[in-house]
Every structure is written in C-alpha cells, then in structure tokens.
Structure 1
Amino acid sequence: MVKSEEVIEELKKIVKQKGLKYTEQREIVLNVLLHADDHLTAEEIYNLIKTKRPDSNIGIATVYRALGFLEEVNLITSIAFGADGKKYESNTKDHHDHLICTNCGKIVEFMDDEIEKRQDRIAKKNKFRITSHSMQIYGICASCQ
C-alpha cells in the first residue's frame, strides 16, 4: 500500500506540471480519502472535514472542485450512483472490484483471481492488451433482501 505522504508529493508534482497553484484544500480532501475505510460521497467528505478540520474553512463547492481535479489526475476514483451522485475512494489500494447494493448503496470490495485470469484470456483471444479495468456488480445486499 502506498503511503499518504507519497500520494501528497505526487499531487504536488502534478499541480506543478500543470502550472497550477497548490492548494491546501485539495490536499485536505485527498487526505480524507487516503485515510477512509469506506467509499465516501462529496457530502460525507465535506462533513468529515468540518468535524476534523473546522479551521479549514472549506465549502462544499470547493470539495466538489477538488474531487473533480483529483479524479481527473487519477489520484482518486469514483463509482456513479445515478441521481444519488458519486462515491469516491483513493487509488492507493491494490486492484479490486465492487459489489454495489442498489437499495442502500453499500459497497463490498473483492478480488477474485479466477475472474482476473478469465478477463486476461478474453482480452488475449480478442487481441486486446488490457491497460486498466473496473468491475462493478449491482444487486441487493443481504441486509436489504
């Protein structure tokens, strides 16, 4: 697993390469996701910042802008929930796929070597070189059934 300091340094490097001003707000949003155990909505991130960093004076619009930027530069990823918006996570975890409850929004991360091998075989058979992939399986969790 990548250390959060390394990811913050990567953020600083990306911002410099793009000729942008480094902002503490982006770092704060990224840090929330680097230390989160769950996938979080923008509102949940905003509420965590307000609780843990009340001095930061970050508004919800700033959180949305920071999330958009961080996703654009591939430091975080999101899962879309239609009208319910997105849930975010950092890109520092090892590869995994998701089971998503369409009723309550619960997300279960999983890794299955057989699925990974099968994807590789399918790609090879079709003369594809996989550069990345994401699997999201939607259904109803045990609590909602």
Structure 2
Amino acid sequence: MAVEKTITKRLETLDSILDRLRASIKKNGLKNSKQREEIIAVLYNKSGMHLSPEEIANQLRMKDKNTSISSVYRILSFLEKENFITALEADKTGKRYEIAAKAHHDHIICLNCGTIIEFVDSDIERLQIDIAEKFGTQLISHDMRLFVLCSKCKTNS
C-alpha cells in the first residue's frame, strides 16, 4: 500500500459523524447498520489515508470474518451519496475513499505507485477565486488533482 502524507485537519469528531449518520439512516427509512458505522470508523481512524473498498473490507474482516465485499460497496455508495465520505479516482484501479469531515485539501497522485499526498496551498486557492471572478463567475467548489511521478518512482525509472 502506498504511503500518504496529510496536512489536513478534521472538522468533526467520530461521535458527531455517527450521530449524523444515525439521523440520515432514520430520515431515509433504513434499519440501523453496525457495518455502516464501522466503515465510517475505519475511514475516520485512517485519516489521511485513501482506502479502496477491498482495504476497507479487510479492516472490517479483522472483527467480522463474514464481511462481504458487495455489502461494503453498497454501503460506500450510500455514504458517498449522503456526503459522509468522498471518493477519489486516483488511477485505473478504482475509487479510493476518505472521510468527508476534513478541511478542504487537494491531492498529488503518483501515476506509477499510487501514492496520494494531500496538500493545501493558499496561493493556488486565491488564484482559483481570481480566475473565476475574471470570468464573471463565483467559485463554489473545486477538486484539484495533480498527477505526477513521485520522487521515489522518478529515481527508480
């Protein structure tokens, strides 16, 4: 698994996220699911990491050997739709997930080894707002991903 660096901070505690999850489950008329809460906990506790569904399932299998990958995919879809988690498609291996309750950040992704580095750059943030204003628009959101060869992969090629 790729090593990741993070400089972003959490905006919520795990308990407050789980409280919001329970309210969302009730609002959607669903049954409470321990597995939904466990997936949130895995992603929260692996802050700074961007986990694949398989990596999440492996973490859950440490507690419950009967965890099914199809259940994990289904739950991830629900959690993403309800904005508890965000997905990042770093490469052709599929989506990787992180908890959504973090301060805004951007990503640097190595196309060779898959390393993901989170970063925030105030100059880039300011430039994006300036560019949007230059075109007479208001920036609402953005997703910046820089695809690179990391220093380790550059050295080995």
Taking structure 1 as the reference length, the TM-score comes to 0.92
CA contact (8 A) 2:85 2:98 kept: yes
2:22 corresponds in structure 1 to 12
Quote the RMSD (CA, aligned, Å): 1.3
Query: Per the alignment, in what secondary structure is the counterpart of residue 109 of structure 1?
Result: strand
Q: How many corresponding residue pairs? A: 143
Counterpart code for 1:43: E
Identity of aligned residues (%): 40
2: distance between equivalents of 1:82 and 1:108?
14
CA distance in 1 between counterparts of 2:77 and 2:88 reads 13
Aligned with residue 102 of structure 2, among 93, 107, 123? 93
Residue-by-residue CA offset, 1:55-100 (whole Å, 9 max, x unaligned): 6x32111111111111111111111145311111001111110000
2:70 matched to 1:61? yes
User: Which of the numbers 85, 108, 111 marks the counterpart of 1:102?
Assistant: 111
Normalised to the residue count of structure 2, the TM-score between the two structures is 0.86
Where do 4+ consecutive residues of structure 1 move more than 3 Å? none
Instruction: Identify the match of residue 59 of structure 2 among 48, 55, 62.
Output: 48
Tell whether 2:141 aligns with 1:116. Answer: no
Partner of 1:39: 50
Q: Which deviates more, 100-109 or 34-43?
A: 34-43
Give the residue type in structure 2 aligned to 1:42. P
**Residue 43 to residue 132, structure 1, CA distance change in 2 (3 Å):** same
Aligned-partner residue type, residue 24 of structure 1? K
Structure 1 residues without counterparts, runs of 5 or longer: none
Paired amino acid for 1:78: A
| Cα deviation code 1:38-66 (max 9, x no counterpart) | 11101111111112x136x3211111111
